[in-house]
Amino acid sequence: MASKVIHAIYNDDDILMHAVKDVRAANYHIEEVYTPFPVHGLDKVMGLEPTRIAITSFMYGLVGLAVAIIMMNFIMIEDWPQNIGGKPSFSYIANMPAFVPIMFELTVFFAAHLMVITFYMRSKLWPFKKAENPDVRTTDDHFLMAVDAGNHDIEKLTQLLHNTGAIEISLIDNDEDH
């Protein structure tokens, strides 16, 4: 992370969106934006790459489907075949219609749970992790944009942020923390 960061606080998500566009157009690097709720389109305006969590969810669903097929074949056909309702117990294909709900449920179960675990691991959200939120007001009703002030003219950047509608601007020196 940069040694000097400017925190600009906004009180409206629309103003924040326009501010992010203006700051990026002026070729400044936005370290992070903290919001009390998801702001639709903010990731695109910030220039972030699209997420690949949907691809991992699909793969986890395929794993769940494979586990369901293998599990049902072993339990109901190979290990303990039973004549339930006159259905033949010697063929997986003949029993497939009865297995569809189980296949669906395990596909959804694996996709949902493994996707959440992947999200937490990728986001480094561990149990008992200390919050990294720089201003507690961003959990209620304010928005914070952290802009790298590294080698830039701080007065010019502060004026730009003020012109974009920031209600509060502060310079944070991260070298003091270490």
Q: What is the pLDDT of residue 176?
A: 52
CATH number for the domain including 152? 3.30.70.120
In terms of pLDDT, which residue wins out, 119 or 174? 119
Q: What is the pLDDT of residue 178?
A: 46
Tell me: do 57 and 104 sit in the same domain: yes
Domain boundary among 92, 122, 152: 122
Residue 16 belongs to what domain range?
A: 4-36+141-177
pLDDT digits (tens, 9 = 90+) for 2-59: 578 999 999 999 999 999 999 999 999 999 999 999 999 999 999 999 888 899 999 9
Q: What is the pLDDT of residue 59?
A: 97
Tell me: do 152 and 117 sit in the same domain: no
The three-state (H, E, C) secondary structure of the chain, written as one string: CCCEEEEEEECCHHHHHHHHHHHHHCCCCEEEEECCCCCCCHHHHHCCCCCCHHHHHHHHHHHHHHHHHHHHHHHHHHHCCCCCCCCCCCCHHHHHHHHHHHHHHHHHHHHHHHHHHHHHHHCCCCCCCCCCCCCHHHHCCCEEEEEECCCCCHHHHHHHHHHCCCCEEEEEEHHHHC
pLDDT digits (tens, 9 = 90+) for 78-99: 888 877 777 667 778 888 888 8
Average pLDDT of the chain to the nearest whole number = 88
* Residue 168: pLDDT band with limits 50, 70, 90: very high
Tell me: do 67 and 115 sit in the same domain: yes
CB of 15 closer than 8 Å to CB of 164:
yes
Nearest alpha-carbon partner for 114 in 70, 48, 62: 62
pLDDT digits (tens, 9 = 90+) for 123-149: 888 888 888 888 888 889 999 999 998
Q: How far is the C-alpha of 65 from the C-alpha of 52, rounded, in Å?
A: 20
Tell me: do 114 and 151 sit in the same domain: no
Q: What is the pLDDT of residue 175?
A: 62
- Asked if residue 100 is part of any domain, the answer here is yes
pLDDT at 1 over 50: no
CB of 172 closer than 8 Å to CB of 32:
no
- Asked if residue 8 is part of any domain, the answer here is yes
Q: What is the pLDDT of residue 98?
A: 83
Tell me: do 150 and 109 sit in the same domain: no
- Asked if residue 42 is part of any domain, the answer here is no
* Residue 172: pLDDT band with limits 50, 70, 90: confident
Q: How far is the C-alpha of 157 from the C-alpha of 8, rounded, in Å?
A: 10
